[in-house]
A and B are shown apart, each in its own frame.
Chain A
Amino acid sequence: MDSLLRRHYDRIYAVCRRIAGNDQDAADATQEALISITRRLDSFDGRAKFSTWSYRVATNACLDELRRRKRRPTPGLPEFESGEEDQRHTRDGALDGALDRAEHVVVRDEIDAALAQLSEEYRVAVVLRDLCDLDYAEIAEVTGVPSGTVRSRISRGRRALADILEIGNQTDPRDRQSERP
């Protein structure tokens, strides 16, 4: 069990971090997710990959955490110790590396801020698709909505992110249709 949790810790934390939008909520959600996994492991029926199942548990734990706190996620600067990747950059000490890292942090924070502006449904769908690399069917299973709704949420979520991040100019008012299952 220890090995299983350690193996999936980073991915679970990553999805919680992206959905929660800040470190503290992500940490709490990760804690809840890990506990949920241990408690519900016997309900894992093998119809989905374990990673998908764990994403579902993590997503639900994260959403529960957010709802419990009754607040929208707020992007936050890193409050924790740097991860191994960051530490490695620091050790290198090269100016280019530092600048590159700073740029990555800025981009990361911008993305966090943009994700935080999305509705919960869109944010979860985009995170599961683009960060967790789940396909539509898997996301539908995780979120409990039809795959058509997943498709709609992903496309609209990305478009909203593009607007927020000022990427391209693909917004077309004619395309703004209500979400369909």
Chain B
Amino acid sequence: MTDFDDLPPDELAGARFDSELTDEDAVRVDADPDLARQVAAQASVSDLLKGAAAPPLPSSAMQERHLGAALAAFDALSSNDASLNDASLNDASSSEVVAADGPTSAAAASLASPPVADATDTNSDSVPLPGLPTGSPPADQSPTPPPASLRDARDRRRSIGPWVLSAAAALLVVVALVGIVNSGSNDDNNSAAASDGMTGDEVSADDGSSDAESAFDAQSAAESESPAAATAEPSSSALEDAADEAMAEEGDQAMAEDDAGDAESVQDGAMAEGDAMAEEDGGDAGSAMTEDDAMAEDGAGDDSAMEEEDGAAAGGTELSMPLGTFFDPDSPAVEVPTEGLPCLQEITALEIETAPGGALVVAPEAKLDPANAAITVFLFRTTTDGPAAAYAVLQGSCVPFDQARFD
């Protein structure tokens, strides 16, 4: 509320009309004929604005274009997140894994893959390095269209920036882990992380479970497609040459030589760290990492960091995202039955929306969908007195909620 004596008459009148004065000051304004007249004038203008016909909406076709573009942007953004899951779901050996795990994992893989038509993954413009196993590329690795304008390019860079920063941090963790693994185990076991041509998928597999099969696949692929790299303990200079050559062929060499200070330079840092890792590992050619590798490791790093943050067990059944973002402790929440988590099909019946009246849904709970462990579901309670309802959002590194994918 405002201080009556400090306000000029027109602001007093406006504040009175907008009910922004205390009751006492409102009485004082009403008692002053001149102020009351100004209040009436403000009301006239406001009523005219409110009463005027609403502007005609664009044609339905244009509305659909607007919505379609926004949804495409959302899909593109979320595909970045989904790619983190895709890395472990769509790797070179994922077909066998999916088949072995049955329809649940298959559904997860299909859900994690955004529609090709909508996929504009900003990180997918890196191409597999020559000599590296390509396997089955993730569905979201469709070619990224060139930015239509500087503005688009700027937006794209901004969307990449945080991921790249995370990737650089995660890569440091991976370097340390690889160092520990290599120092703790023998030097000639050709572990997956140390094998040449390690893809992000394989990194995820190795990071998550140290799956021997994945490691074997990675090793086999590396040996078949990059026999030189599979040679035991090549010289550091040879490794550097191989890495540089791969970088050059990927078209990122200029980035690798760029200075720090922008997002791209962080990517370079991540790549440079990859080189360093190879040297430290005594001759791994794994330095030739793609951006996607870094992104995949980013996801692994994020997950581990968040698990630490949330104190969750490493079993993968607890939260994978921090909840503070959506949580408003000051908003009262209606009681919502929380026993039992809706299965995937039930979730599809819910809409992502604000509660009736525009109130925000609060008290989120994030759990892994029991029907599909690859998907995290966020449940919300509403702040309204309306019917209790839970709202589900798939967010962050999880598969975005998209009704069409569940139809």
Are B8 and A175 closer than 8 Å at their CB atoms? yes
A101 to chain B, nearest CB (A): 8
Tell me the residues in window 10-54 of chain A with beta carbons closer than 8 Å to chain B beta carbons: 10, 13-14, 17-18, 23, 26-27, 30-31, 34-35, 37-39, 41-51
Give the number of residues in B that approach A within 8 Å (Cβ atoms).
64
Cβ contacts under 8 Å, B55 to chain A: 13-14, 17-18, 23, 26, 78, 108, 112
Are B360 and A151 closer than 8 Å at their CB atoms? no
Are B8 and A49 closer than 8 Å at their CB atoms? no
Are A1 and B20 closer than 8 Å at their CB atoms? no
CB within 8 Å for A49 and B352 given contacts A154-B18, A158-B14: no
Give the number of residues in A that approach B within 8 Å (Cβ atoms).
72
Chain A CB within 8 A of B395 CB: yes
Chain B CB within 8 A of A104 CB: yes
Are A155 and B74 closer than 8 Å at their CB atoms? no
Cβ contacts under 8 Å, A165 to chain B: 45, 48
Q: Which of A2, A80, A111, A168 contacts B57 (CB under 8 A)?
A: A80
Chain A CB within 8 A of B2 CB: yes
Q: Which of A78, A131, A151 contacts B50 (CB under 8 A)?
A: A131
B18 to chain A, nearest CB (A): 7
> Which chain B residue has the least Cβ–Cβ distance from A40?
B77
Are B56 and A49 closer than 8 Å at their CB atoms? no
Are B77 and A39 closer than 8 Å at their CB atoms? yes
Considering the complex of A and B, which 5 residue pairs feature the smallest CB-CB distances, nearest first? Answer: A155-B14, A34-B70, A170-B41, A104-B53, A38-B74
Which residues in B have some Cβ–Cβ distance to A below 8 Å?
A: 2, 7-11, 13-15, 18, 20, 37-38, 40-42, 44-46, 48-50, 52-60, 62-63, 65-67, 69-71, 73-74, 77, 155, 159, 325-328, 331, 351-354, 358-360, 362, 395-396, 400-404
13 inter-chain pairs at a CB distance below 8 angstroms, sorted by A residue, are A13-B55, A14-B54, A27-B58, A39-B155, A46-B327, A49-B354, A50-B358, A80-B58, A83-B54, A105-B53, A130-B49, A154-B18, A162-B42
